[in-house]
A and B are shown apart, each in its own frame.
Chain A
Amino acid sequence: MQIDIFPASEDALIVYVKDTDGICANQLIGQIAQYLLYPERDEHHAELSCWLRDVTPSYHSILVRYNPLITDHFAVKSLLQEVSTIAQCGKSEAMRHHKIPVYFGMPDELDWLRVSHVTGLSQSDYLDAFLSCTFRVFALGFAPGFGFLGTLPDALRVPRLDSPRKHVPAGALAIAESQTAIYPSSSPGGWNLIGRTAVPLFCATSPQPNRFRVGDSVSFTAIDLLTYEAQCAEVERD
């Protein structure tokens, strides 16, 4: 795999992994992130933690922020080159599978008209194909708990809205291009909404705040309105 490292700011470098297989590249990114965040697992790099401010792993890139009063971009770059090589041999963490129940009704709040128009599929044909997919969590970001899930088959892809909604409700399941995601909290958003789930994705007070981890797999099941409402009530009670 080809590794390119570029500056990103006065205190950050960004590492790009080039590979024809997006999943291989994303696995390596995950391993580099683990290596940087938990250097104590490797005795040679235990000193890493003192200058590392943060890492932002994404599909095939990882942004690394360092403390420029302790180190500089030359030292960080050479270390990242080394870590990228070592991480290629590393083992992946055990992945989990998540089955997320989704209610696909509420036509007024969702974009089914647009989705059917663009794909030429009826809602039930689209759902048959969508529910048979298993997605990978490629990145966590944009907002706490927001997982970028891929990859949607070509036939199911719909471009982003021309103008983003000011308010997307929490729990909205959305699609854009080759990606799908659930909005963990209400926010503005430009993706096409296709359903709602009651499953919480982020809890600040939990030791594992995010439900998803990069590398996990996710699939969706359809539920009816009564089940959805019952699940919402249950989440509220907790």
Chain B
Amino acid sequence: MKLTEEEKIIAVETTQQILAGVDRQNRGQLIPVLQKVQEKLGYVPQVTMEKVANHFAVPAVDVYGVITFYNQFRLTPPGKNQVKICMGTACHMRGAHIIQEAWERRLNITVGETTRDREYSLERVACVGCCTMAPVVVINEEVHGKMTPTRVDGLLFAHQLDKQKAKEGNADNEQ
């Protein structure tokens, strides 16, 4: 996914701020630095990985290796609506992968990515704690149980309607 120029500048500045004062010899700081970047930006962009690798004098591919090894790191900016598909045991047994495929097909992205308009991002999570409602999807903080591919369509449609209404509401207020 392509980042805007503005995002790149913010990423570079944030990284430099966080790296300032970090001991170049202390490679143990690599993960804490990456975590701080993610805390600030919500993801770890490529420019950050290159800068961090340079700072600690390790090959950039090693930093990339760390980022792809740990689930907690994101490579793409999160969307306005974060769709989390539960992959816990109960949800798995009740066909969570079918739900995942439905979202991927509908949003035209794969897990870990964000749609081009930055509206939705898709991720897999471990158990969210309401196994009786399996398979479960959490959109932002809202829990949706007993998911089916048709309900995926329904949720997206409802969301689009809400958005349209909000837009019209704004237009009415302006008049």
Chains A and B form a bound pair? no
> Which A residues fall within an 8 A CB radius of B?
none
